[in-house]
A and B are shown apart, each in its own frame.
Chain A
Amino acid sequence: MSKIETGGDNPLHARPISLEEAIDCWGPDLSNWPDIALVRRAREALLANRSFRAHRDLAVADAQRLKATAAALDQRIADRGSLGRIEAGVLRLAQPKPVHWYRRIAAVAAVMVVAAMLGSAVEFASAPGTNAPSVQIVQLDPLMFGPADF
């Protein structure tokens, strides 16, 4: 198959590439190709070019075999309990991080605010409840009331 020049202006792929090379670069699924012009040519070639069709079919088959192999590997990892061991091992080995000074200050400030709020609330709640005898203080103005009034 002849080389197709995509042109130097194309930012996606500025080098010559054949349709077979495009399949090797971007995979057999044409919807994932970044070059629209090349996709159009590939669609035409799939209908007209037997050797290109065979190349693409082989790429599809290889991709499926790789997918099956990946699934088999996943199953094998799960069967061996690797993920549980990894999580337990990492959490065991992960050292607790030291608390930063600004977090300490924030914690102390938060404790003080909460304590102050609690104290105010208690004071506010308990003040009307006390049954202590009330004492009324009256201050008399000496300009209005003379010694005789006392």
Chain B
Amino acid sequence: MAEKVLKKGNEGIALGAIHCGCDGYFGYPITPQSEVMETLMEEKPWETTGMVVLQAESEIASINMVHGGACCGKKVMTSSSSPGLSLMCEGLSYLAASELPCVVVNVVRGGPGLGTIQPSQGDYYQAVKGGGHGDYKTIVLAPFSAQEMYDFVGLGFDLAFKYRIPVMMLTDGMIGQMMEKVELRPQQARLSDQEIVSRYGSWATTGKTSDRPKNAVTSLALESKVHEALNFKLQAKYAEITEHEVRFETLACEDAEYLLVAYGSVARICESAVEAARAQGIKLGLLRPITLFPFPNVEIQRMIPQLKGILSVELSAGQMVDDIRLAVEGKVPVHFYGRLGGMIPSPQEVLEACKAHYIK
């Protein structure tokens, strides 16, 4: 039987990285995610799996170290929190344009500016709409438990290599600092250069051998035609991801007349709100997007006929609510309820907000 341990979400990320055969982690300390690198340093995976762990001089350096490692076909990752992610956006754009796989964790804190170290979901736009320059996207996973923090590192790498795309885990200090039961998976071996080539093709800079032309991993294309073709290729990839990789979870949605949509930490609060509503005879359900890009548009659209109203619950001023509104195209009222600056609503507050809008 798999070992069950009590771990913080952040510790779960570190263990998930080691156990899924991650080759390298590059990071810079920032609250509330420093436990990720601290746990890795404590675990010393370089002595067991050979995984490289390095404290970089800045978030700019960490994301570019990820760039270097990813070009070699290695499973590499970094983690940071909001201001650090802002610094990484240039690098993320390069990674996306160069079609490189990697996992980037954002344990979001309250912004803008230096903000607060408390939980927030204010980086939704940055994560889902690109963040850096140019028309690019990253797959965005939103874990809502320590177990998912652990599991999604491996899942993230699988998706990242399948599509050659950066995968972001968007979470916050509530999930990062909370301890829960985590069921550990068996240790996966790291891949050799030969295995990388046989599994993923020979695009990586593993050293130019006589049997193939040199690989130059670049995002530069000065000719407009060439560059447009590169962009079309990226867009086709995003369309394919949208078709195949939507993940979500529903609670009490079969007969729901009212729907909460929430991801990550707030989805946990909303689960309790749904339980409370059902106890009062209110037909409330919850849809929890697990992938924020691609967004579960189709599932929300499928529910339109049964719904009298949707409430987007977020730790932001209202960002995901835009995507819900785009999905329903005005066919169902969509309202927003959120708290800011690290404030976390109680299940009762969420239920009251829902009632205030829809159940007079």
A binds B: no
> Could you tell me which B residues sit within 8 Å of A by CB distance?
none
Chain A residues at the B interface, C-beta cutoff of 8 Å? none
